Amino acid sequence: MHQLRQAVAGSSALPDLSGVHYAYSHAAYEAASDQRASLQTWLPRELPPLLGAGPLRVIGVGVGDGSVDAPLAAALATNHRQVEYVGIEPHAASAAGFEARLGSLDTGCLTVTTVAGAFDDYEPAGSADLVHFVHSLYYMNDLGATLDHALAMLRPGGLLVSATAPREPLCVLTELLSPCVGHRLWCAEDVTEELAARRLEVWSETMLAGLDLGDVLTAPHGTDEPVLDFLVGARTATMTAEVREQLIVYLTEAAVFSNPGVVPHPIEITIARVP
């Protein structure tokens, strides 16, 4: 990391991942990891028992194309339970994907609303039972204000759920290389600290997963470049040879001992209940 930091300090900032390339490289990255499949199982299994039996109002923040939300919405809208599910997503094409994916669920109990915009500007019509952020808190300008905004939307007893990566080797890399956006990259530790400061009942679980870097380590200019782009949160095509070399050394050292192509890709799920 020391050598990588030195190489980065001597080079220009990398270009941002924006719009279409963000969504495209995100899809490639998720396809290289077993984390999403675990989330798609964990959330529909663990959240419904925490939410009671009545009708529900759910707000998903930064829902992307709805890949994680669809199984959760389907699990919640069972046994004739009415579910109002709002998905907030500023990237228009991803928001359209969310709408299509949730709209195609075969249940008569689900009402889906898509908000193609940022969370900061959203004001809900009524109080929610669940507000969740799956891999989206990193990007918020002000983490404390975002959590307060979400907590204010919840009814007493409602749940705030954050699925955010801990500040471990992959997040440390993103923090270093992403051109970021006027604030630090918020990680799971920041979320739990903010929630603890609000004296809420909070519990967390770390889900282990692995990101298969495939050819990234041996042929970093190859077809896996979108995976590398999303991993560092920037376009890597213009990366200097020195930074690239140190990046590959860092990733090689971060890899799982028994499986040199795979780096640990954990996610921390934190749940807070509003009193």
Closest to ligand SAM by CB, 67 or 114: 67
Binding residues for ligand SAM, per CB under 6 A?
26, 61-64, 67-68, 88-91, 94, 118-120, 134-136, 139-140
- Residue located via tokens 């997503």: 89
Beta carbon of residue 138, minimum distance to ligand SAM (angstroms, whole number):
8
Check if the beta carbon of residue 133 is closer than 8 Å to that of residue 195.
no
Residue 136 or 246 with smaller CB distance to ligand SAM = 136
Identity of the residue, 174 or 246, whose beta carbon is nearer to ligand SAM in the bound complex: 174
Element at 29 (helix H, strand E): helix 19-31
Q: Minimum distance from CB of 246 to ligand SAM (Å)? A: 25
Q: Measure the CA–CA gap between 216 and 219, rounded to whole angstroms.
A: 5
Nearer to ligand SAM (CB atom), residue 136 or residue 162: 136
Q: Shortest Cβ distance from residue 172 to ligand SAM (Å)? A: 17
Query: At its nearest, how many Å lie between ligand SAM and the CB of residue 97?
Result: 10
**What is the nearest approach in angstroms of ligand SAM to the Cβ of residue 57?**
18
Minimum Å gap between C-beta 168 and ligand SAM is 17
Of 57 and 91, CB closest to ligand SAM = 91
- DSSP structure class, residue 77: S
Other Cβ atoms less than 10 A from the Cβ of 170: the count is 19
∠ Cα 85 149 181 (to 5°): 100
Mind giving me the DSSP string for 90-152?
A: SSHHHHHHHHHHHHT---TTEEEEEE-S-GGG---SS-EEEEEEES-GGG-S-HHHHHHHHHH
Q: Give the DSSP H or E segment for 273.
A: strand 267-273
* 136, burial (CB in 10 Å: exposed 0-12, middle 13-18, buried 19+): buried
* CA pair distance 197, 144, nearest whole angstrom: 10
Query: Smaller CB distance to ligand SAM: residue 4 or 160?
Result: 160
